[in-house]
Structure 1
Amino acid sequence: MDVINSKQIEELSKIDTATIANAVEPFNFRSNTEGFMGMDVSCMFPDLGVMVGQAVTVTLDTTTHGRKHDRNVRYELFEAIEIAPNPVVIVMKNIGSRESHSCHFGDGLATICSRLGAVGVVTDGGVRDIDTVYEMNFHYFAPGVVPAHGNFGFHEVGVPVEISGVTIEPGDIIHGDVNGVVMIPPNRVDDVISESHRVLKKESDLREWVSTEEFSIENLRKRIG
Structure 2
Amino acid sequence: MSDDRNVARAGAMDTATISDALDRLGIVGQCYRIAGRDPSFRMAGRAFTMLCGPASTPPGTVGDYIDDVQEGHVVVIDNGGRDDATIWGDILTEIAHRRRLAGTVIDGISRDVALCRSLGYPVFSRGHWMRTGKDRVQVEATNCPVNIGGARVAPGDILHGDADGVVVIPQAHEEAVLAAAEEIHAVEGRIREACRGGMRLDEARARFKYHQLQTRQK
Aligned residues: 207
Matched to 2:59, the amino acid is: H
- Residues of 2 paired with 1:219 and 1:172: CA distance? 35
CA contact (8 A) 1:104 1:125 kept: yes
SS of equivalent residue, structure 1 residue 132: helix
2:101 maps to 1:101: no
Given candidates 50, 55, 79, the residue that maps to 1:58 is 50
SS state at 2:9 partner: helix
Aligned residues of 1:56 and 1:80 also touching (Cα < 8 A)? no
CA contact (8 A) 1:69 1:155 kept: no
Could you state the TM-score of these two structures normalised by the residue count of structure 1?
0.77
Q: Comparing both structures, which one devotes a greater share of its residues to helix?
A: 1
Distance 1:156 1:219 in 2: 50
Q: Equivalent pairs: percent with the same residue?
A: 25
Q: Residue type matched to 2:20 in 1?
A: N
Q: Which residue does 2:17 correspond to in 1?
A: 19
Which residue in the other structure is 1:46 paired with?
A: 39
| Change in 2 beyond 3 A, CA 1:210/1:59 | same
Whole-Å Cα distance in 1 between the matches of residues 203 and 178 of structure 2?
A: 32
Q: Cα gap change, 1:8/1:222 in structure 2, threshold over 3 Å: closer, same or farther? A: closer
Give the deviation of 1:219 after TM superposition. Answer: 7.3
Please state which structure has a larger fraction of its residues in strand. Answer: 2
Task: Please report how far the alpha carbon of residue 202 of structure 1 lies from its aligned counterpart in structure 2 after TM superposition.
Answer: 0.8
Which of residues 56, 74, 94 in structure 1 aligns to 2:63?
Answer: 74
Out of 168, 182, 188, the position equivalent to 1:197 is: 182
Tell me the secondary structure at the aligned position of residue 40 of structure 2. helix
Change (3 A) 1:223 1:59: closer
Structure 1 window deviating more from structure 2 (166-175 vs 8-17): it is 8-17
Alpha-carbon RMSD: 2.8
Correspondence 1:148 to 2:97: no
1:74 partner amino acid: G
Q: Which amino acid aligns with 1:197?
A: E
Distance 2:6 2:23 in 1: 19
Distance, in Å, in 2 between the alignment partners of 1:78 and 1:45 is 22
